Amino acid sequence: MSRYAACCLALANLIALASIPDAFAHCFVGPRFFPATLAIDDPCVADEMSLPTVTWSKTPDTPPATEWDLSGELSKRITEDFGVSIGETWTQIRQPDGSVTTGFQDLETTFQYQLLKDSPHELALLAGVIVDWGNTGATNSGLGTSYSLVTPTLYVGKGLGELPDTMSWARPFALTGQVGYQIPTSSFDFTQSAFIPQQLVYGASLQYSMPYLKSEVIDLELPDFINHLIPILEANFTTPVANNFGNPYTTTGFLNPGVIWVGSYFQVGLEAVIPINRDSGSGVGVLGQLHLYLDDMFPTTVGQPLFGGTPSTPRKLTF
């Protein structure tokens, strides 16, 4: 069995074994639950951990190399509305000739503030700043950089629960998105003899919540496993917009169709990774993630904000 198939099988087994009837979740806006999406971020601050996130893909080189990314991220609320996360990614790139490059990418931290949670309109807004710290990764292998990247970012989530009764079938739909402007701390990379562009980094997700369908629209008496599912389509893109002298302003990105299974204290997601063009990658990859809800697992201890938090009963999803 290939490593690709083994990864998919392991994630499928984990989903199948998790059959808890009730789920608690951290990103509620009114009756709407926004799951932690895999390719972009969800629009809420929370105490949570993604470990592991595994990606298999092929690079855009000719002939392409095979790339494995293994990452983890820990998010912690400092106050009810302000949170910080820290993430790291280990990468292995195997060339067609058998040579292998391995190492850590630059350390990433994110600072986020919850601007709005409008329950009646199922609307959430979040502002953040992502920092990829230079000289913290494997610069000798080309996996890290000598400069940092600072990306002010706005996140949004909107449920469609306000649709009229004639469109009740569409109420479980929700949209999330983010847009950021990535600014390098240096304008020129002397090791590569190339300008470092400023880039627009943006993405969105379209999701259909089976838990919402059952609890807020109609109970179709589907199997319990189906009622835990959120089918999803994610997309993320990067477009150079400034300081890109001598290089084409080509947009790169990926489409990620997949599904998220929501459990009591965790979720499991599995998505395909489809490059939008040859500059983005070769063929179809796979992305899988185990995501833990620390604020639901430990609501009175590590799941509380460091300042101003009070113990509360976790919000329950109905299946």
Can you say how many angstroms the Cα of residue 55 is from the centroid of all Cα atoms in its chain?
12
CB-CB contact of 186 with 196 (8 Å): yes
Nearest-angstrom CA–CA distance, 36 and 24: 13
CATH code, 80: 2.40.160.40
CB-CB contact of 39 with 236 (8 Å): yes
Residue 11's pLDDT band, with cuts at 50, 70 and 90, is: very low
pLDDT, position 142: 87
pLDDT, position 3: 45
Mean pLDDT of 239-243: 96
> Which class for 63: exposed (0-12), middle (13-18), buried (19 or more C-beta within 10 A)?
exposed
Mean pLDDT of 171-175: 98
pLDDT, position 107: 98
pLDDT higher at 16 or 126 = 126
Neighbouring CB atoms inside 10 A of 160's CB total 16
Sign of CA dihedral 66, 246, 143, 83: negative
pLDDT, position 315: 65
Q: What is the dihedral of CA 230, 271, 163, 42, to 10 degrees?
A: 90
pLDDT, position 318: 63
Mean pLDDT for the chain overall: 90
CB-CB contact of 194 with 188 (8 Å): yes
In one-letter notation, the amino acid at residue 145 is T
pLDDT, position 24: 44
pTM (2 d.p.): 0.89
pLDDT digits (tens, 9 = 90+) for 16-44: 434 433 444 479 999 999 999 999 999 99
- Please list the alpha-helical segments (H only) found in the chain: 3-17, 210-212, 224-227, 294-297
Number of domains making up the chain:
1
Element (H, E) at 310: none
**Domain encompassing residue 208:** 3-317
**What are residue 158's DSSP bridge partners?**
123, 175
